[in-house]
Structure 1
Amino acid sequence: MKFTLSWLKDHLDTTASLGEITETLTSLGLEVDGVEDPAAALAPFTIAYVKSAVQHPNADRLRVCIVDTGKGEVQVVCGAPNARTGMKGVFAPAGAHIPGTGVDLKPGVIRGEASNGMLCSEREMGLSNEHDGIIELPDDAPLGASFAAWRGLDDPVIEIGLTPDRADCAGIRGIARDLAAAGLGTLKPLDETAVEGRFHTDLTVTLDFPADAASACPLFVARVFRGVKNGPSPVWLQQKLKAIGLRPISALVDITNFFTFDRNRPLHVFDKAKVQGGLSLRLSQPGETLEALNDKTYTLGDGVTVIADDAAVLSLGAIMGGASTGVSGDTTEVILEAALFDPIRTAMTGRALGITSDARYRFERGVDPAAVFAGVEQATRMILDLCGGEASQLVVAGREPDWRRSLTLRPSRVESLGGIVVPRERQQAILAALGFGISDGADGATVAAVPSWRGDVQGEADLVEEVLRVNGYDAIPAVPLPRMSTLTQSALTPQQKARELVRRGLAARGLDEAVTWSFMDGRDASWFGFQNSGLKLLNPIASDLDTMRPSVLPNLIRAAGRNAARGLPDAALFEIGPVYRDATETGQQMVASGVRSGQSGPRHWAQPPRPVDAFDAKADAIGALDAAGAPVANLVVSTDAPDWYHPGRSGCLRLGPTVLAHFGELHPAVLSALAVDGPVVGFEVFLDAVPQPKKKAGTAKPLLKLAAFQPVVRDFAFVVAEDVPADRIVKAAKGADKALVADVALFDVYRGAGLGEGRKSLALAVTLQPVEATLTDEAIEAVGKKIVAAVEKQGGTLRG
C-alpha cells in the first residue's frame, strides 16, 4: 500500500515529521517497507530560461543554446526539435545523475561546440516515456527554482506492508485514523451529504442470484450522469496517482482510482451509450467470455460474479471492467457503480483467472459495507466538479448487510492478555479514537460497538489488541518467565534429537538439505501411492500444488531435474519432513528422504566416473538409520520395495517385520512422468519406526576402546547360488564368533568358468580382533572352521 505524505495530510491534520509518522506506523502494526523521496533524485534539476537557440554550425539537427540558470549562463548543445529562444525548461548541470537514462552528465564537446549540462525531457527525468522534446514550462515558472518543488514532486512516498486482517488500511483514510488515534494529529471530517438527483433514469439493476449464492453481491448502487466531459484529469489528481505508480487515463477513470486508494472504496464507470438495456448481477455461464480493460480476453467458468446487460457480460464483479463499455473522450453519459462483493468468491475468481487488480485486492479482504452510499455521493461531487453534467437519482438493488455488533471488554483482560495495566479511561479513549462506539457495561466493563470498517474485530481479544497496539507495544514491560524447575532439562525430545543427528549425518555424506512444499501436483502424487481423496486441498495456492505429499521423493526428483536443466546434473539432495498417508492424526509420518542423480562423486584422474546406483542409496539409508540410533547390524534386506522403485534394483531395510527404510533406483516410468533423465536413486527412512534405545543403569560405555593385540585378516571365498544375497553370507560369517570376528567385508564377486550355471563366488575379508591374548594358529584355524560352517548353513561352500 503506497501513499504520499501530502495525500495523508488531506485526511490528517498534523505537524508531525516524516520520521515520526513512519515510526508510529510501524509501532501500530502498519510496518513501513520503504520511503521514497523523489526530491533527492531530482535535486540538481532547476528551472532555466533559454536566452538563445541557434543552429549548430556542424549538425543539422542540433542547436546551440545559451541557458540562464538563475545563477549564471551556460552553453548547452540540444537536439530537441522544440528547443527555441525564449522558452523555459528544466536544466541539469554537469555532474548531475539523469534518472531516466542512468547517465552521469559530464562537460563535453559535441561536434566542435562545448556543452555543459542539458535541457531535459520527461523520460530523461524519469517522469514518463515522453521524449519527443524537452519539457516546456509556463512563463511564470520561477527562474532558478527547484523543478521538483515547483512541480510538487518533492512529496515523500510511503509504502507499508499491509496484513490481510487490516483491510480498513487499504485506504489512506484508515491509515490517517490509526495515526490520529495514536496522538499524531486529528482526523479531518468528510463531507458525506447526499447529492440531490436532477433527473430520473430509465436504468434498471437486478440481482439475479440463486438462493445459495445471494452473498455474491448483496448491495449494488448505481447513478447515471449526463452531459459530462471526459478529458484529462487535473494536475493535482494526476500527480497523486503518478506518485503511487498509477498511470492517469482520463478524469472519470482517475476519479475511480482515487477513491479506491483514498477511501478503500472501489468504483467503476460504464459508458451508458454502450450498455444495451439494464444491468444484471448474476453468475456466469460456462463458456462466456469477456474482453477486459487489460486487453486480455477471459473465458469464464461456472459461478463467476458478473455484471451483464441484455446482450453480454460487461464486467467481472469486484475484479475488472470490460473493454466494451469503457469510457473514452467521447463519453457523455456515464453509469457510476458502487457495490459489495463476496470476499471468498472474489479471491477464487481472481485466482482461477489469474487476474490481479486493485479492486480484487480490496474486495477479497473485505470493504466497508456501510460506505457504499457514501462512496457514491463523494464520487458524484468530484465527477460534477471535474467533468460537469448532472446526476440522476440513485438506482439501488439489494440492501446493506447487517454488520452491527457489540463486544464487551473487561478492563482486567488487557493486563491478563497483554501484560500491562492500562487504565479503563485510557482503554475507552483509544477505542473511541479508532471509531468504536463506547458505553459502560456491567461490573465496570466497556461495551464497544464495532465500526463497519473493522470486519477483523470479532472478540474481546481483538479489542485488547487494539488497546495494546495504540498504547504502544514498547510500553509492555519485559518480564522474565518464572523458572519452573531447578534442574536443567533438555528442550528437545529424543525424536527431535534423532532428526538433528540424521540431518548432520546425511550432510556429512555429501547431501545438500532441501526444503520443499508439503504439497504437490496430484498427478505426481499418483505415482507414489497416493489414493486417499482426503488429502486433496480444497483451496490450493496453485493448481499444481493441490495434494498433500505422500512422499518427499517427487519434490526432490523435480528439484534434481531443475538442477540438471541448469547444467548441474550431479545432484545429492535430502529433506527431513512429514509425509501424509491419510487425513487422520496417525496418517502423518516423519521421513528422511534423499535422491542422488548423475555421477557418484566428483571426477578423478585415478578412477573413471560411474553412474549412481542402488548401493549409493542403500548406504545413505543405512547412514541415516545409524545416526537415528537404529541397530543397523541387525537389519535385514528384502526386495519388496514399492512400485515407484526399479524392480531388482531396490529393496527394504527391515528390523524384524518392521520396515525402517526403502531404497533403490527410481522406476524409469516415474522419471519419465516427472520429465527427469535417469538414473536417479533415492531412499526413504521412516524415523517414527526407528526403535528408541532403552535406558540402562550403570556406567556409560567408552566411545573408543583400543585393543592391545594385533588384528588378523583372513580371506574366504564361498560359492553360492546366484539368488543368495551377499548380505546373508556376510552376516553368517560375522555371527560365527561374536567375540573374535570384528568385521566382515565383501571385496570381490566372481561369475564365470569353473563355477557352473547359476552360481557366483563371494570373497570375504574377515578381521579377527583378539582381546585377551595374541591369536595362535590353532585359534585362527578354529575360528575359520566356525565361519565355514556358518556359511554352509546358508547354502554356501568354500571355494577350492
Structure 2
Amino acid sequence: MKFSLSWLKAHLDTDASAEEIAERLTNIGLEVEEVSNPAEALAPFKVAKVLTAARHPQADKLQVLTVDAGDGPIQVVCGAPNARAGLLGVFGPPGAYVPGSAMTLKVAAIRGVESHGMMCSVRELELGEEHDGIIELAADAPVGAAFADYAELNDPVFDVAITPDRADCMGVRGIARDLAAAGVGTLKPLHVPKIEGSFAPPIEIRIEDPEGCPAFYGRAIRGLANGHSPEWIQRRLKSAGQRPISAIVDITNYVMLDLGRPSHAYDVAKLDHALVARRAHEGETLLALNEKEYSLDPTMTVIADESRVHDIGGIMGGEHSGVSEDTTDVMLEVAYFDPSRIAQTGQKLALTSDARSRFERGVDPAFLADGLDILTQLILDTCGGEASQAQLVGEPPVAAKTLPFDPDRTLSLGAVEVAEDRQRAILLSLGFEFEGAASVRVPSWRPDVDGPADLVEEVIRIVGYDQIPSTPLEREPGVARPTATRSQLVERRARRAAAARGLDEAVTWSFISEEEAAHFDPAWRLDNPISEDMKVMRPSLLPGLVAAAARNMARGSSSIRLFEIGRRYLAEGERPTLAFVLAGNRQVRNWQSGKAKPFDAFDAKAVVLAILEAAGAPVASHQVFPDAGSNWHPGRSAKLGLGAKTILASLGEPHPALARALDAPEGLVAGEIYLDAIPEPRSAGRTRPQFAPAALQPVSRDFAFLVPADLPADNLARALRGADKNAITQVRLFDRFESADGLSLAFEVTLQPADKSFTDEEIAAISKAIVASAEKLGAKLRSN
C-alpha cells in the first residue's frame, strides 16, 4: 500500500514529519517498508527560461539554445521540436543524473557545438510517458527555482505492508484513522454528498447469485466527457505506483485507494439491457482489461448483460465494455462480493488485482451507498454530466457485532496497565461504539475483530507493544529447567563453527522448482504452490544457496562463503542438514603468482572437517570415499564417513550438468553435512579433556612411497597411523609427485614419546612397522 504524505494529510490533520509518521505506523502494527521522496532524484533540476534559439550549424533537427536557470546564460544543444525563445522549462546541469535516460549529464560537444546540460522532457524525468518535446511550464514559473518544489513533487511516499487481517487499512483513510488513534493527529470528517438523481437509470441491475454477490448498487451518469483526471488525482495515483489512464478510470482507482472501496464503470453504449450478478456458465470466456483471456466456470461470480460476461466479479473488468475517450454515458458498479469466493476465483485463474486484494480481505459492507455517492460526485465534478437515481439491489451483510468490554483484561491478558478512560478513548477513536458500560459495538470495517481478546489487542497496539514487560513465567515445583536437545546442540555448534570459518549464514526458500528438484529425486510436491518456481519441497539445500551465490557474484562480490542450516525433504522424512557453497576466490594472494587463489575441493573438505569436529563427530576416525553421487563431479568430490554405512558429508564440485542447470558461478565448490548422521558421543557428558601438554619433545620422520595410482592417500595415511597407535600422533601428507617411476606420496609422521625419549632402536622399529603397513596396501618405500 503506497501513498504520499500530502494524500495522508487530506484525511489527517497533523504536523508530524514523515519520519515520525513512519515510526508510529510500524509501532502500531502497520510496518513501513520504505519512505521515499521523488524530489530527491530531481534535486539538481531547475526552472529555466530559453532566451534564444538558433539553428544548429551542423544539424537540421537540432537547435542551439541560450538558457537562463538563475545563474546567467548557458549554451545548450536541444533536439526538441517545441524548443523556442521565451519557453519556460526544466534544465538539468552537468553532473545531474537523468532517471528516465539512466545517464549522468556532462559537458559534451554535439556535432561540434558544446552543450552544458539539457532541457528535459516528461519521460526523461519519469513523470509520464510524453516525449514529443521538452516540458513547458506556466509563464509565471520562477526562473532558478528547484523544479521539484515548483511542481509540488517534494512529497514523501510511504510503502506500508498491510497484513491480511487489516482490510480497513487498504485505504488511506483507514491508515489515517489508526494514526489519529495513536495521537499523531486528528482525523478529518469525511464529506459524503447527497446525490438525488434526475432520471431513471437506463440499465437494470439484478442479482442471481446472492451468495457470491449479496449487494449490487449502481447509478448511471450521462452526457459526460472522459478526458484527463485532475492533476491532484494524477499525483496521488502516481505516488501509489498507478499510471493515470483517463478521468473515469482514475477516479475509480482513486476511490479504491483512498477509501478502500473498489468500483467499476461500464460504457452504457456497450451494454445489452440489464447488468446481472450471476454464476458463470461453463465454457464462458472473458477478455479482461489486462488483455488476457480467461476461461470461466460455475464456481465464479461474474457481472454480465443479456449477451455476454463483462466482469469477473470483484477482480477485473472486461475489455469489451471498458470506458474510452469516446464514452459519454457510464454505469457505475459498487458491489459487495463474498471474500472466500473472490479468493477461490483469483487462485483458480491465477489473476491478481488491487480490487481482489481488498475484496478477499473483506471491504466495509456498510459503505456501498456512501461510496457510490462519493464516486458519483467526483465524476460529476471532473467530467460533467447528469446523474441518475441510484439502484440499490440486495442487502449487504452488515451484521451488528457486539462484544463484552472488561478493562481489567488489558492487564490480565496483555500485561499492560492502561486506565479505563484511555482504553475507551482508543476504541472510540478507532470507530468502536460503547453500548452501556460493558459492551462495545464493532465497526463494520473491522471484520478481524471477533472477541474480547481482539479489543485488548487494539488497545495495546495503540499504546505500544514496547510497553509489554518481559516477564518470565513462574516455574512450577518439580519442573526441570529447560535444556537444549542433542540435535539443537549439534546445530548450534555447527552454526558457530561455520561462522568461525568466515561463512555467512543464509536463509533460502524451502520450496524450489520442478526443474531444480529433478536432479535430486524429489519426494514432496505441493498441491497449492505459491508460484511455479516453488512447487517442490527441497530435497537439497544446494539450489537455494547456489542461486544466492550467483546473485551475489552478479552484484560484484569476489568471494562468496555462504552456509545454511535447514531441512531436506526426502521420501523417508525430514533430514537436518548444513550446506555451504564457496565461490570466487579466497581473497588471499598466492606467493607464486601474486593473484588471488580460487576455492577448490580441498577448501570444502577443510570446512566439513572443522564443522564436524565442532559438532562432536569423531573426525580422527573418518574415511574418504571417492564416489559422492551422481550430482557431484566424479573426479573432484568425495564423501566422508565413519565406514560405508555412516556417511557424514558430501563435498566437492557439483557435477557439470547440475552446475549448468543451477547456473552456478564458475569454480563453485560446495558441501552438505548430514547432522542427524553424527553419532552420539560415548561418554554421558561432553566435557572438554584436561589440558596435559607432553613433557617430551615430539619426533618427526618423513616417508615417501611409490603407490598404485588408484590408492587413495587417505587410506594410506590411516594405515600409517595404525602402525603404532601409541607412539604415532599425526600423519600429514605434504607432497605428491608423479614421475616415470609412478606416483609418489610423501608423509610426515609425528612420534610422541610418553615417559622417556625414544632410542634409535625404538624409532627404527616404529619406522619398520610404518613401511610394513604401507606395503600391505601395495605401497613401496622410495629409494631415492
Output the amino acid matched with 1:170.
Answer: M
Q: Is there any run of 5+ residues in structure 1 with no aligned partner, and where?
A: none
Counterpart-to-counterpart distance in 2, 1:630 and 1:189: 69
Secondary structure, counterpart of 1:324 in structure 2: coil
Match of 1:455 among 439, 442, 447: 447
Q: CA offsets, 1:584-633, max 9 Å, x none?
A: xx943321223467999976747999998766655543332122221112
Please tell me whether the aligned partners of residues 717 and 798 of structure 1 are also in contact (alpha carbons under 8 angstroms).
yes
Tell me how far apart the structure 2 counterparts of residues 690 and 663 of structure 1 sit (CA, whole Å).
16
**Is the contact made by 1:634 and 1:655 (CA closer than 8 Å) also made in structure 2?**
no
How far apart, in 1, do the equivalents of 2:578 and 2:567 lie?
9
Matched to 1:374, the amino acid is D
After TM superposition, give the deviation of residue 526 of structure 1 in Å.
Answer: 3.4
Tell me if structure 1 keeps the 8 A contact 2:238–2:244: yes
**Partners of 2:404 and 2:439 within 8 A in 1:** yes
Question: What RMSD in Å do the two structures reach over aligned CA positions?
Answer: 5.8
Cα distance in 2 between the residues matched to 1:456 and 1:652: 54
Aligned residue in 1 for 2:751: 768
Query: Residue 621 of structure 1 aligns with which residue?
Result: 608
Deviation at 1:711?
A: 0.7
2:621 alignment counterpart: 634
Kept after mapping to 2: 8 A contact 1:653/1:662: no
Letter paired with 2:750: T
Matching residue within 302, 325, 329 for 1:329:
325
Q: Which runs of 5+ in 2 are unaligned?
A: none
Change (3 A) 1:233 1:527: closer
Identity across aligned pairs (percent)? 42
Q: SS of the residue aligned with 1:325? A: coil
- Which of 544, 547, 563 is equivalent to 2:533? 544
Secondary structure of 1:589's match? strand
Which residue is equivalent to 2:676? 688
* Cα contact 1:653–1:659 (8 A) shared by 2: yes
Give the Cα–Cα distance (whole angstroms) in 1 for the partners of residues 300 and 119 of structure 2: 52
Structure 2 match to 1:169: 169
The answer (yes or no) to whether the contact 1:174–1:263 under 8 Å persists in 2 is yes
Q: Does 1:594 align with 2:584?
A: no
The alignment status of 1:555 with 2:531, answered yes or no, reads: no
> Could you tell me which of 678, 684, 693 is aligned with 1:705?
693
Query: How far apart are residue 65 of structure 1 and its match?
Result: 10
Do the aligned partners of 1:207 and 1:398 also contact (CA within 8 Å) in 2?
A: no
Match of 2:570 in 1: 581
Distance 1:207 1:117, change over 3 A: same
Q: Give the one of 404, 412, 416 matched to 1:408.
A: 404
CA distance in 1, matches of 2:228, 2:397: 37
Q: Distance in 2 between matches of 1:437 and 1:730?
A: 81
1:389 to partner: Cα distance: 4.0
Superimposed CA distance per residue, residues 374-394 of structure 1 (whole angstroms, 9 cap, x where no aligned partner): 322332333344444444455
1:469 equivalent to 2:469? Answer no
Aligned CA distance change for structure 1 residues 333 and 744 (closer, same or farther; 3 Å)? same
Partner Cα distance (1:13, 1:314) in 2: 41
Do the aligned residues in 1 keep the contact of 2:97 with 2:105 (CA within 8 Å)?
yes
Superposition deviation, residue 740 in structure 1:
0.9
Larger Rg: 1
Compute the TM-score of the two structures, normalised by the length of structure 2: 0.76
> Is the 1:257–1:266 Cα contact (8 Å) retained in structure 2?
yes
Instruction: Assess, with a 3 A threshold, how the Cα gap between structure 1 residues 78 and 544 changes in structure 2: closer, same or farther.
Output: closer
Q: What is the correspondence of 1:308-707 to structure 2 with a 5 Å cutoff?
A: 308-309=304-305, 312-341=308-337, 343=339, 357-395=353-391, 399-401=395-397, 404-440=400-436, 446-472=438-464, 476=467, 498-499=490-491, 501-503=493-495, 505-506=497-498, 514-531=506-523, 535-559=524-548, 573-581=562-570, 587-595=573-581, 605=592, 617-637=604-624, 641-645=628-632, 650-654=638-642, 657-663=645-651, 666-671=654-659, 673-674=661-662, 682-693=670-681, 701-703=689-691, 705-707=693-695
| 1:715 maps to 2:703 | yes
Aligned in 2, Cα 1:47/1:438: closer, same or farther, shift over 3 Å? Answer: farther
Q: What is the CA–CA distance in structure 2 between the aligned matches of 1:602 and 1:42, rounded to whole Å?
A: 44
* 1:201 and 1:393 in contact (8 A); partners too: no
- The corresponding residue for 1:34 is 35
Does structure 1 retain, via aligned residues, the 8 Å contact 2:48–2:67?
no
Number of residues of Structure 1 aligned to a counterpart in Structure 2: 765
Aligned residue type for 2:718: K
Shift in alpha-carbon separation, 1:344–1:75, aligned structure 2, 3 A: same
C-alpha distance in 2 between matches for 1:510 and 1:740:
35
Corresponding letter in the other structure for 2:439: V
Please report how far the alpha carbon of residue 682 of structure 1 lies from its aligned counterpart in structure 2 after TM superposition.
4.1
Paired with 2:84 and 2:717, the residues of 1 have a C-alpha distance of 97
Task: Say which SS state the counterpart of residue 648 (structure 2) adopts.
Answer: strand
Aligned partners of 2:695, 2:105: CA distance in 1, in Å?
80
1:66-122 residue CA offsets vs partner (Å, 9 max, x unmatched): 9999xx99999998988999x996798999999999999999xx9xxxx99999987
Letter in 2 for 1:253: V
Check whether the contact 1:560–1:569 (CA below 8 A) recurs between aligned residues.
no
Secondary structure at the counterpart of residue 273 of structure 1? helix
C-alpha displacement of 1:336? 1.0
Q: Which amino acid aligns with 2:674?
A: F
Tell me: CA distance 1:770–1:628, structure 2 relative to 1, closer, same or farther (3 Å): same
Which residues of 2 match residues 220-231 of structure 1 at below 5 A? 220-231=216-227
Q: AA paired with 2:751?
A: L
| Deviation (angstroms), 1:23 | 6.4
SS at match of 2:408: helix
8 A Cα contact 1:575 1:592, kept in partner: yes
CA distance, structure 2, for counterparts of residue 572 and residue 67 of structure 1: 54
Contact 1:225–1:335, Cα closer than 8 Å, also in 2: yes
Report if aligned partners of 2:589, 2:597 keep a CA contact under 8 Å in 1: no
By how many angstroms is 1:267 displaced? Answer: 1.2
Look up the match of 1:783: 766
Change (3 A) 1:677 1:89: closer
> Residue in 2 aligned with 1:742?
729
Looking at structure 2, the residues matched to 68 and 564 of structure 1 have their Cα atoms a distance apart, in angstroms, of 43
- On the 8 A contact 2:512/2:533 being kept in 1, the answer is yes
**AA at the equivalent of 2:375:** A
Cα distance between partner residues in 2 of 1:682 and 1:17: 49
